[in-house]
Chains A and B, each alone.
Chain A
Amino acid sequence: MAVDFPSEEFARRLCEELNKNERYRRAARGWRWPILFRVEGPQASVGFILDLHEGECRGYKWLEDASHAQADYILAAPLEVWLDVISGKAHPMKALLARRIKLEKGSYSTIARYTIAALEITKSAKKVLEEG
């Protein structure tokens, strides 16, 4: 069954996929903060929080209205930017540096240390969308 992005099903499947991704697990050692991924729309923002901790996804939370949601790290971008990153057309950290993805909360110097983990998240996300 096809999975849409963004959707609750996508968030659930991504969390599962990350827990199967050994490269993610190794690269994310030391990461201990939930991340809110917010997809900005013209009227409202949806999103999901992944509870990421030491290489494991401990859970997810889908948000129909993510406009005022909080997490230790908040990454926000329009849909097309997220799709560019997931498809591999855009490097996630380059998108951050170019402010295509906004780091609304959290430390860039910390998130930059986990570039490889970020790349593995995008690979897992792509797999979820491709495999349905």
Chain B
Amino acid sequence: MPERVMRAAVLKEYLSPPVVEEVPAPRVEGPHEAVVRIVGSGVCHTDVHVWRGEAEAVLDIQLPLILGHEPSGVVEEAGEAVPEWLKPGTPVLVCASGFCGVEDEYTLSGRHQLCSKPEWPGLSRRQGAFAEFLHVPHYKYLIPAEGVEDLAAASLLTDAGLTAYNAVKKAAASVRPGDYVAVVGLGGVGLFALQLARRVLAARVIGVDISEEKLEFAAKTVGLGGEDLLVDASKEDAEAAIMGQTGGRGVRAVLDFVGVEQTLEKYLPLLDKTGVYVIVGLGSPFGPQIPSLDLILGERSVLGVLWGSCSDLAELAMLAKAGMVDYKSIVTRRIRLEEVGEAIERLDRGEVLGRQIVEFKP
């Protein structure tokens, strides 16, 4: 059979733009496998970390590597054991967080992202989704997306949306309807969190950022209510604003999508007793000093979030189909494959509002 080729953006050298070239296209080899024709592939800050060479210290990465781990597409080819409802032609969201080299206690209990041998596309030695086709090692990583509008934009659900959803679910036990939740960092993931905290937890939200542009974008895209609040922490006293808005009580949860020394130290004391601090941002792996006295006296909790599971993605897809999460407005740039390098560098320079996606048109 003649080898099929595809176009892909290949990172060959750190800090250099990925090179768009023809590479062998994947094929199905096993009965449970699939090949997806990519329709949309989000550009994520983790791609920046990989591009800068940072990820080598924590992930098993080897160049050359096709980046991209936030894909949606259409099933192109399916192994003989792939069920009928995922036959070729089916639109799908790809649960990249679930790609795993082993079945372990985490994958078997549905916590796919905690797999002990992750093989995340574009974040391991497995080729990623800034390409025309993606090999999917098992059909269980495919979430049907019939009824999901704008399939290319829906690619954001597979990472930005999914990570935010996991963070919101982690906070759920501490948040009652009407309680306040603070979302720190209003990039693509934070924008999802603002929406999902309102819709899923019925919470009132306080969005915090130091960028006036990001705050304006959040105001325009999220559909906040009269009792929600956006705080510009570069100009206002964020603590006073949050305590004022909550009547001195504090928030029930903080979802921190920045995760640097300053954010936890600043916002953890603003938690109500028994509140939960969810750290998602990878700003500083050692983390800030955790004020343990505040934790103990108020029986507060600190939780970490890494991406999300495939069952979370299936739930999120249902919310998207029901119109309960707006992913389309978060897409601010639709780019061609050739523009991936420039998109990564723009993101690195902090010049991106919302999220960029590579859109593959037929």
Contacts and interface: CB of A to CB of B under 8 A. Distances in A.
Interface string A102-125: 010001110011011001000000
Contact of A91 (B15, B57, B285): B57
Range of interface residues on chain A? 10 to 19
Nearest to A98: B57
B260 A109 contact: yes
A115 B53 contact: yes
B58 A26 contact: no
Contacts of B284: 107-109
B56 A115 contact: yes
B15 A93 contact: no
Question: Mostly helix, strand, loop or mixed at chain B's interface?
Answer: loop
A26 B13 CA distance: 12
Given A26-B15, A107-B284, A108-B286, A94 B57 contact: yes
A107 B52 contact: no
A27 B15 contact: yes
B14 A116 contact: yes
A115 to B, nearest CB: 4
A108 B281 CA distance: 13
Interface residues of B, number: 15
B54 interface: yes
A89 to B, nearest CB: 15
A97 interface: yes
B283 interface: yes
B261 A93 contact: no
Interface string A43-63: 000000000000000000000
A116 B286 CA distance: 20
Nearest to A94: B57
Interface string A87-103: 00001011011000001
B308 to A, nearest CB: 23
Given A26-B15, A107-B284, A116 B53 contact: yes
Contacts of B283: 109
Contacts of B15: 26-27, 116
Contacts of B58: 97
A116 B14 CA distance: 8
Contacts of B261: 107
B15 to A, nearest CB: 6
Interface string B48-90: 0100111011100000000000000000000000000000000
A119 B53 contact: yes
Contacts of A119: 53
A108 B57 contact: no
Given A26-B15, A27-B15, A107-B261, A112 B286 contact: no
Most chain B C-beta atoms within 10 Å of own C-beta, residue among A27, A107, A109, A119: A109
Interface of A: 26-27, 91, 93-94, 96-97, 103, 107-109, 112-113, 115-116, 119
Given A107-B261, A108-B284, A109-B260, 8 more contacts: A91-B56, A93-B54, A93-B57, A112-B49, A112-B54, A112-B285, A113-B52, A116-B53
